[in-house]
Amino acid sequence: MKKLFKVILLQFLLFFSIVEIVNSEEDTIVPNITYDEIYDPLEPVNRVILGLNFFIDDYAIRPVIKTYKFIAPDPVEKGVSNFFSNLKEPIRAISFIFQGEFMKSINSAGRFTVNSMSSLGTFDLASRMGMVKNETDIGLTLAKSGVSSGPYIIVPIIGPSNFRDLSGDVVEYFVDPISNNIPNRTYLSIGDGLNARAEVDDQIDQIREISTDRYEMIKSIYYQNRNSQIEEDFVQNLPTPKIYIE
Amino acid sequence: MFNRILIIFFLLINYAYTEDLEITNWFNKESKQFLEIMNNSDVEKHQNYEKYKKFVENNFAIKSIAYGLLNEKIIESNNEKTLIKYQNTFKSYLTKTIYNLANSSTSGDIILKDIDVKDGVFIINSDISDKTSSISLYWKVVKVKNNYKILDVIVENTSYFVTKKSEFTKILRKNRSNLEHLIRELEKI
């Protein structure tokens, strides 16, 4: 049954990817999005799920994160964050191979070896040795090979994504060599999720305090962050206001 | 002929160098002042906020940002009184939101990394770093009447201008481009 599910899922992803490539035609590699016109046909459903996510966050996740951030000293937080980031180095190495970035792939594999051997990944010794961390994932690999983002979606509990990035996450779930070979994977996934939530705690507080429309703010931040990982001159290409004499 | 070309070349290089030096000095001075305001624990919080408010008034291109967040048609279809009201409300909103943004990310030093120019806009690449971490911070700056004014702040790849543009566009779309409604929403913050 599990195998059948995997096959159906992979077929679905493959079909989805082909459809996207055909539809996206020429300007697929650089997304060139005007951020106030992001493809969002599921907005009404997304808004409901976002409300639900904030409700769960308010009553279950946020208190845990605030307590953790209050109790844990900065070096501990950093260590935990490094640990979970290090577990993603093998999947980064695989992603870079598919992107044709072989040196970066070797760098990721090297980082994993050095950091795991020296401190189980809790200390980033590799960076000190000049092996700089490069972020990537399967979603970005799909983006760089021309797959457009598809509709924006809010995933229950997990948060903002789009069809392409969510597909990437699903593929990662099945092919990640580390988490597939670790017992108690569920606990690891929960820990990773909580760590990811703790890392964006300040930003979520800001969204609560300063946004006029938190749904739009989260969507815009999500796409800007993803595009910054896809486009080389991301900052230079961001829209700038017309200049008025003050 | 060759001498003239050489002189022109020399003048151009000299001009670029002077401009580079000028904006570097401006950035170093203003970022230092900004950090002093944000990290000053000797005075009451509201006194700091007042200083900070002046800093925003002096250094941000408020009208350009405020109008840039609206559609041109909305600017044309509203009278001057409403636009001035919007501009003033936005100034107060900008002050509060940048203060909030800065409060969570300002300890340590602001280090200038490099300056790029695109379409007359200076793009200043800097880092805020303390002992344990570092945050990437870009500033888009323009020279208006011999003063440098900030058009956008990009913290960890999130542009203030782009994010607010998305929010404001949605509010205006939902309310038939009614600027008064947007003003009321901004006043709530």
Global pTM reads 0.83
Q: d(Cα A182, Cα A196) in Å, to the nearest integer?
A: 19
Residues of A in contact with B155 (CB under 8 A): none
Burial class of A184 by CB neighbour count within 10 A (0 to 12, 13 to 18, 19+): exposed
CB A20 within 8 A of CB A164: yes
Q: Is A242 a member of any domain?
A: no
Give the dihedral of Cα atoms A42, A47, A53, A56; nearest 10 deg. -140
Select the residue of A210, A238, A246 nearest B162 (Cβ to Cβ): A238
Q: d(Cα A55, Cα A206) in Å, to the nearest integer?
A: 17
Task: List pLDDT tens digits, range B120-167.
Answer: 899 999 988 776 678 888 999 998 888 899 999 998 889 999 999 999
Q: Is A1 a member of any domain?
A: no
How far, in Å, are A30, A220, A228 from residue A232 at the CA level?
9, 19, 7
Model ipTM over 0.90: no
CB B98 within 8 A of CB B56: yes
The per-residue pLDDT for A203 is 85
Cα of B14 to nearest chain A Cα, Å: 25
The per-residue pLDDT for A28 is 34
Number of domains present in the structure of chain A: 1
Select the residue of B67, B119, B138 nearest A244 (Cβ to Cβ): B67
Q: Is A125 a member of any domain?
A: yes
Task: List pLDDT tens digits, range B155-177.
Answer: 888 999 999 999 999 999 888 88
Pairing of β B121-129 and β A159-162: unpaired
Q: How many helices (H) and strands (E) does chain A have?
A: 13, 2
The structure tokens listed for B2 are 């060759």
The structure tokens listed for A33 are 């999005």
Percentage of residues in chain B with pLDDT exceeding 70? Answer: 85
- Chain A, nearest residue to B133 by Cα: A78
Cα of B10 to nearest chain A Cα, Å: 28
Pairwise CB contact (< 8 Å): A212 & B116:
no
- Chain B, nearest residue to A78 by Cα: B132
Pairwise CB contact (< 8 Å): B157 & A228:
yes
The per-residue pLDDT for A47 is 96
Task: List pLDDT tens digits, range A179-198.
Answer: 788 887 888 889 999 999 99
CB A117 within 8 A of CB A94: no
Select the residue of A35, A74, A242 nearest B64 (Cβ to Cβ): A242
Q: Which of A85-94, B47-56, B59-68 has the lowest mean pLDDT?
A: B47-56
Chains A–B, number of C-beta pairs less than 8 Å apart: 118
> Which of A43, A200, A220, A229 to mutate: most B Cβ within 10 Å?
A220
Local confidence band at B9 (pLDDT 50, 70, 90 cut-offs): low
**pLDDT higher than 90, residue B101:** no
The per-residue pLDDT for A165 is 95
* Domain, as residue range, for A191: 7-219
Q: Which of helix, strand or coil describes residue B152?
A: strand
Pairwise CB contact (< 8 Å): B116 & A236:
yes
Select the residue of B63, B65, B166 nearest A219 (Cβ to Cβ): B166
Q: Is A232 a member of any domain?
A: no
The per-residue pLDDT for B145 is 82
The per-residue pLDDT for B14 is 63
The per-residue pLDDT for B21 is 85
Residues of B in contact with A202 (CB under 8 A): 104-105
Pairwise CB contact (< 8 Å): A221 & B97:
no
Beta bridge partners of B142: B149
Cα of B61 to nearest chain A Cα, Å: 7
CATH fold of B2-188: Nuclear Transport Factor 2; Chain: A, (3.10.450)
The per-residue pLDDT for B45 is 64
- Chain B, nearest residue to A214 by Cα: B167
Q: Where are the domains of chain B?
A: 2-188
pLDDT, mean of each 10-residue run, chain A (246 residues): 48 43 37 67 96 94 93 91 94 94 96 95 93 93 92 95 95 85 84 91 86 92 92 88 80
The per-residue pLDDT for A24 is 38
